[in-house]
Homo-oligomer: A and B are copies of this chain.
């Protein structure tokens, strides 16, 4: 999110945009990352469970992540251009769940939307909070094809460390990767 931790509310959402999967790109991705015949061979795929070539679930997930990164960057640039300081997103410690609900086929156009479900201050990283969000992907027929439940860090704007925290932060030599990604 481009908002500071304090200003984010449960239910806040962000449209991440739409992406149309071509057969050519599905094959290219899968030859590199998911080389199974129902992902790479349109003829053989006719005889698979799916009755035709489909995108890898990983591809669907990665495209959603890419759209999210691009959308956040676009919004940040627009805010900076207006003289507003955007909130700071941290890295993701992980994905809680990821479900492949429907096959994504060539020429399917998939829309992604992120919704914040809950937030809490990080237990181990002073000045940061954790956001728990869902990313839902829907095809052009309105069918949900994919959902992921993701965790991500979000910086607090108004954080003032107390003496103990200041000592702790100094001792940890922040920015320190380990504690950050271990939460």
Please give the residue numbers on chain A whose beta carbons come within 8 Å of chain B beta carbons, in ascending order: 32-36, 48-51, 56-58, 61-63, 65-66, 69-70, 73, 90-103, 175-178, 180-182
Contact = CB atoms under 8 A, between A and B. Distances in A.
Q: Is the interface of A mostly helix, strand, loop or mixed?
A: mixed
7 contacts: A36-B69, A58-B61, A62-B62, A92-B100, A93-B99, A94-B97, A96-B97
A97 to B, nearest CB: 6
A100 B96 CA distance: 11
Contacts of A49: 90-91, 175-177, 180
Top 5 closest pairs, chain A to chain B, by CB: A94-B99, A95-B98, A49-B175, A33-B62, A33-B66
